[in-house]
Amino acid sequence: MAAGVAAWLPFARAAAIGWMPIANCPMPIAPRDHSKRQDELIILNVSGRRFQTWRTTLDRYPDTLLGSSEKEFFYDEETKEYFFDRDPDAFRSVLNFYRTGKLHYPRYECISAYDEELAFFGIIPEIIGDCCYEEYKDRKRENAERLQDDQEENKDLKMPNMNFRETMWRAFENPHTSTMALVFYYVTGFFIAISVITNVVETVPCGATANQKDMPCGERYTVAFFCMDTACVMIFTVEYLMRLFAAPSRYRFMRSVMSIIDVVAILPYYIGLVMTNNEDVSGAFVTLRVFRVFRIFKFSRHSQGLRILGYTLKSCASELGFLLFSLTMAIIIFATVMFYAEKGSSSSKFTSIPASFWYTIVTMTTLGYGDMVPKTIAGKIFGSICSLSGVLVIALPVPVIVSNFSRIYHQNQRADKRRAQKKARLARIRITKTGSSNAFLQSKRNGLLNDLLELTGTEEDGQKLSKSTSLLESQHHHLLHCLEKTTAHEFVDEQMFEQNCLEMALQSYPSCSPSASSRDGSVGTCCSRRGKRSTHLPNASIPPAHQGPLHELSAIRIQCGEPPSCVVSRSSLNLKTDDSSRVNCKGGQITTAIISLPTPPALTPDGDGLHRPPQRRPPIHPPAPSIQTTSSSSCANIVKVSAL
Amino acid sequence: MALEGMEIIAIAVVIGLFVVILKQFGIWEPLSLEDSCDNDLVLSMVRHQPEGLEKLQAQTQFTRKELQSLYRGFKNECPSGLVDEKTFKTIYSQFFPQGDATTYAHFLFNAFDLDRNGSINFEDFVLGLSVLLRGSVAGKLRWAFSLYDINKDGYITKEEMLAIMTSVYDMMGRYTSPSVQDDAPLEHVDKFFQKMDRDGDGVVTVDEFIETCLKDENIMASMQLFDNVI
């Protein structure tokens, strides 16, 4: 029961008294209205704009937010009003729904924003009134299409391990995915063009030879044309078979329009091969050649516009049918009239009604060849009426078809635009994401630098470095920090990560001896890293580096290990190899890292830099283990910073 | 001859087309009947303003606040201030989705439309409600009598009662348990007349009706049922 008539319920109940005298049995007891509130005004404050309504208005829909006790959560005791921090413009429609019982969708409103508002206030969008329902559904469909497009393209982008068949299919469907596919695309397009041109040129008269009159090129250079035709058909056949092989659902592929066109394009050739050259079938053979022209439809794979045209015609089938039907009716009527009007005149071309069809069609489509013209006055009058009505009958469905085409075309344009903008969109999203993660890393560094500097006593430098972060940011960073502590992993930025991977790829073979334990192996790579930094020599530098100051190595070990879990975890951040050495190479990078940061005095750009943090370690060790970790991670972080 | 025949037809067609075109331009207005659209236009602009609050307060048993609340609801549903029969039927049918309430709504409409002008205004509405909800038992019974008395001649005949009864059963619809037999309304009417028609003259008068109902306990009890609707 609509709320609109809820207001009449008291009336209907009162009128029920009319049944009482007729009734034979006693009536049931009426439900008592316990909440006998006097109707009062409620103030709804939506982002500062105050709306007022009666309480009973809101009570009409008890399963929405405003109609139920849920709104008590939003009640503000001091101002005695209900405060909602939502869009006041959208709230207008919501409140009007309560008042009139009809939900309207305002055109200027964004569809997703509107949906959110409705969801917030507990109103299902299906009850939008008929006046606005079409618009709502259209917009919603467009939005869904847009989201779907995005998803599909994401699907395209991700590259799982596809087998050969899937790769091939993807190459066929999207030529832009690989160079091979692009080449293939252009080659087939070229051959389609060649084939069509060949078919056309075949029939052109090529010039008379000595003994014969003008004959078409096809008969003169039979062999050449045959070879050309064969080549094209070969290419098309190969393409078709490859597509058939690669198709995920062969049955569906075979039923699709494009494949049927392909088959029809190449079949005449094979049938021609099979058939012999005797006269009774040659007529049929000639007819088959006509089908070769269907090769031109193969272009629709290459041309978006052709596809749109085809799709439009398909979707306008009813309009086209109407056009055809009305034309047929009009043709029959006018042909009959013209026939009888011209019957009397001598030597009239209008010999029968079907013969008049030709005149009527030519006149209605305003062609006017002039091979058949009426001679009597009546004929002329009816002929002019015929041409005028022809214009009307044809002009009526055509705009519908045109608007359909335009709509579909624009949709496609929109899709293309979206694709083009997609890169920018993704870049935007990526920037914001990395921005937030960088902010976190930056704040970590700043915080830890501050700690470091406090220890060394250079306060003012520390304050220079620390930027003021908002409460929200600091809370967010604290949260990320907690996560780090929970998983005993650390966040790294992308470039750092990739650099590690690259270096890992370079370093893994010469550096670590597989026999070494994880620690030693890691040490080895660290050493090798250091060696690499100085001389970029592979193995030669390793042995001396191996014998390098043990305390350095131990320092590194200490540094890079927080417990092995950390080591292992770091490696898991990288690719899947179990080279824990990778982790410690981060430690090894301390050397390079140290250059960039000016302030911390410990960070000097050579292997000795490693000494400093370890040297500082003894004083740090005793106070608290936490500081140790911070310093180590700070060093580790400093590492990361520099590589930026 | 056929030639001339066709010529005549052609010329007639041309003249016909001219006439149509001229009519379009409004240059030549032949003797056509007046459009009825104008009448509709006039009617829809009618608006009814109710009498003042004080007068209504005096005429009915409602308090000022109640009248205000009633008017607000009424005006919300019918911004023009008038309910015509079609709208009334639509509204009333929404309460009884299973059956066909239009016939009964028609009778109800006539019962409320005191001045029989084809539309219920707020005064009719509120006066009727006042009788039904705040009136005396006798007043309610009189109202019921006026509902049953379709032609308002002061007598309820069997045919009138049958019509009312059929319309009430129509509201039930098809899906009832036990299902409504075709002669159920007639039976019910017979029972009613047996009860009400004292002097057996085949019609029920106001006094008979009121007297009988006052004596019936069930009816008396049910009369008080809707006293707290508003």
pLDDT score at B178: 75
ipTM of this predicted structure: 0.75
**Mean pLDDT value of segment A121-149:** 85
How far apart are the CA of A112 and the nearest CA of chain B, in angstroms?
A: 31
B95 contacts B102 by C-beta, under 8 angstroms:
no
pLDDT score at A554: 38
Q: What are phi and psi of A53, to 5 degrees?
A: -155, 170
Residue A211: band (very low, low, confident or very high) from pLDDT cuts 50, 70, 90: low
Q: Which residues in chain A have Cβ-Cβ distances shorter than 8 Å to B111?
A: 15, 18
pLDDT at A136 > cutoff 80:
yes
Q: How far is residue B55 from each of residues A200, A268, A596, B83, B181, measured CA to CA in Å?
A: 95, 95, 92, 21, 49
How far apart are the CA of A392 and the nearest CA of chain B, in angstroms?
A: 15
Nearest to A199 by CA among A270, A277, A269: A269
pLDDT score at A582: 42
pLDDT score at A552: 40
Q: Chain B within 8 Å of A41 (Cβ-Cβ)?
A: no
Q: How far is residue A89 from each of residues A47, A53, A134, measured CA to CA in Å?
A: 10, 16, 21
Contact between B3 and A344 using a beta-carbon 8 Å cutoff: yes
Q: What are phi and psi of B222, to 5 degrees?
A: -70, -20
Residue A615: band (very low, low, confident or very high) from pLDDT cuts 50, 70, 90: very low
Question: For A47, left (φ over 0), alpha (ψ -120 to 50), or beta?
Answer: left
Report CA torsion sign: A218, A224, A225, A226. positive
Spatial distance between the Cα atoms of A79 and B59, rounded to a whole number of angstroms: 41
pLDDT score at A547: 41
pLDDT score at A406: 87
* Interface probe, candidates A1, A22, A99, A385, chain B, greatest B C-beta count within 10 A: A22
Nearest by CB to residue A15, choosing from B74, B77, B132, is B132
pLDDT at A181 > cutoff 60:
yes
The SS3 assignment for B83 reads strand
Residue A283: band (very low, low, confident or very high) from pLDDT cuts 50, 70, 90: low
Contact between A20 and B188 using a beta-carbon 8 Å cutoff: no
How far apart are the CA of B216 and the nearest CA of chain A, in angstroms?
A: 9
User: Which chain B residue is nearest to residue A16, measuring alpha carbons?
Assistant: B226
**Which ranges in B130-183 belong to alpha helices (H)?**
137-148, 158-172
Residue A164: band (very low, low, confident or very high) from pLDDT cuts 50, 70, 90: confident
Nearest by CB to residue A21, choosing from B69, B128, B144, is B144
pLDDT score at A551: 41
pLDDT at A204 > cutoff 50:
yes
Dig out the tokens for A207 from the structure.
């010039």
User: Which chain A residue is nearest to residue B132, measuring alpha carbons?
Assistant: A14
Q: Which residues in chain B have Cβ-Cβ distances shorter than 8 Å to A99?
A: 76
pLDDT score at A386: 93
Q: Which residues in chain A have Cβ-Cβ distances shorter than 8 Å to B223?
A: 17, 20
- Considering chain A, what percentage of its residues have pLDDT values greater than 90? 15
Residue A45: band (very low, low, confident or very high) from pLDDT cuts 50, 70, 90: very high
Spatial distance between the Cα atoms of A642 and A403, rounded to a whole number of angstroms: 60
Contact between A343 and B213 using a beta-carbon 8 Å cutoff: no
Q: What is the CA radius of gyration of chain B?
A: 27
Q: How far is residue A153 from each of residues A149, A166, A169, A422, A511, measured CA to CA in Å?
A: 6, 16, 16, 9, 42
Instruction: Collect all residues with Cβ–Cβ distance below 8 Å to B210 and sequence separation of at least 6.
Output: B138, B141, B142, B145
Q: Is the pTM here over 0.80, yes or no?
A: no
pLDDT score at A570: 43
pLDDT score at A217: 77
Contact between B226 and A7 using a beta-carbon 8 Å cutoff: no
Q: Which residues in chain A have Cβ-Cβ distances shorter than 8 Å to B164?
A: 22
Residue corresponding to tokens 């992993």:
A489
* Interface probe, candidates B11, B132, B162, chain A, greatest A C-beta count within 10 A: B132
Instruction: Collect all residues with Cβ–Cβ distance below 8 Å to A470 and sequence separation of at least 6.
Output: none
pLDDT tens-digit readout, B2-48: 557 778 888 888 898 888 888 887 766 655 555 544 555 555 556 77
pLDDT tens-digit readout, A313-351: 888 888 788 888 888 999 999 999 999 999 888 888 899
How far apart are the CA of A327 and the nearest CA of chain B, in angstroms?
A: 21
Average predicted confidence (pLDDT) for chain A:
73
Mean pLDDT lowest among A576-580, B117-121, B152-156? A576-580
pLDDT score at A385: 93
pLDDT score at A264: 86
Nearest by CB to residue A381, choosing from B10, B65, B226, is B10
Mean pLDDT lowest among A56-65, A71-80, A485-494, A581-590? A581-590
Residue A59: band (very low, low, confident or very high) from pLDDT cuts 50, 70, 90: confident
User: Which chain A residue is nearest to residue B142, measuring alpha carbons?
Assistant: A18
Most confident residue range from A274-288, A589-603, B140-154: B140-154
- Window 42-61 of A, Cβ < 8 Å to B: 54
Spatial distance between the Cα atoms of B204 and B200, rounded to a whole number of angstroms: 9
Residue corresponding to tokens 């040129």:
A201
Q: Chain B within 8 Å of A2 (Cβ-Cβ)?
A: yes
Instruction: Collect all residues with Cβ–Cβ distance below 8 Å to B30 and sequence separation of at least 6.
Output: B19, B23
Q: Which residues in chain B have Cβ-Cβ distances shorter than 8 Å to A21?
A: 141, 144, 148, 192, 209, 213, 219
User: Which chain B residue is nearest to residue A27, measuring alpha carbons?
Assistant: B222
Residue corresponding to tokens 């019982």:
A101
Q: Which residues in chain A have Cβ-Cβ distances shorter than 8 Å to B74?
A: 7
Contact between A25 and B14 using a beta-carbon 8 Å cutoff: no
Most confident residue range from A73-77, A450-454, A480-484, A619-623: A73-77
A500 contacts A572 by C-beta, under 8 angstroms:
no
The SS3 assignment for A254 reads helix
pLDDT at A402 > cutoff 70:
yes
pLDDT at A282 > cutoff 90:
no
Residue B94: band (very low, low, confident or very high) from pLDDT cuts 50, 70, 90: confident
Nearest by CB to residue B147, choosing from A12, A18, A23, is A18
Nearest by CB to residue A38, choosing from B65, B74, B223, is B65
Residue A47: band (very low, low, confident or very high) from pLDDT cuts 50, 70, 90: very high
**Mean pLDDT value of segment A508-519:** 46
Residue A272: band (very low, low, confident or very high) from pLDDT cuts 50, 70, 90: confident
pLDDT tens-digit readout, A421-478: 888 888 888 888 878 777 777 877 777 777 776 666 555 554 554 445 667 777 777 7
Residue A385 vs residue A311, higher pLDDT = A385
Q: Which residues in chain B have Cβ-Cβ distances shorter than 8 Å to A9?
A: 95
Q: Assign 3-class secondary structure to A160-171.
A: CCCCHHHHHHHH
Q: How far is residue A237 from each of residues A228, A250, A267, A327, B140, measured CA to CA in Å?
A: 14, 16, 10, 42, 92
Nearest by CB to residue B94, choosing from A5, A16, A20, is A5
Residue A604 vs residue A370, higher pLDDT = A370
Residue A138: band (very low, low, confident or very high) from pLDDT cuts 50, 70, 90: confident
Residue A252 vs residue A288, higher pLDDT = A252
What A331-339 contacts at long range (C-beta under 8 Å, 24+ apart), as own/partner pairs, is A331/A357, A331/A360, A331/A361, A331/A364, A332/A357, A334/A360, A334/A363, A334/A364, A334/A382, A334/A385, A334/A386, A334/A389, A335/A359, A335/A360, A337/A382, A337/A386, A338/A374, A338/A379, A338/A382, A338/A383, A338/A386
Nearest to B74 by CA among B127, B147, B15, B26: B127
Contact between B218 and A30 using a beta-carbon 8 Å cutoff: no
Mean pLDDT lowest among A401-410, B168-177, B184-193, B211-220? B168-177
pLDDT score at A444: 75
A556 contacts A610 by C-beta, under 8 angstroms:
yes
Contact between B228 and A10 using a beta-carbon 8 Å cutoff: no
Contact between A341 and B191 using a beta-carbon 8 Å cutoff: no
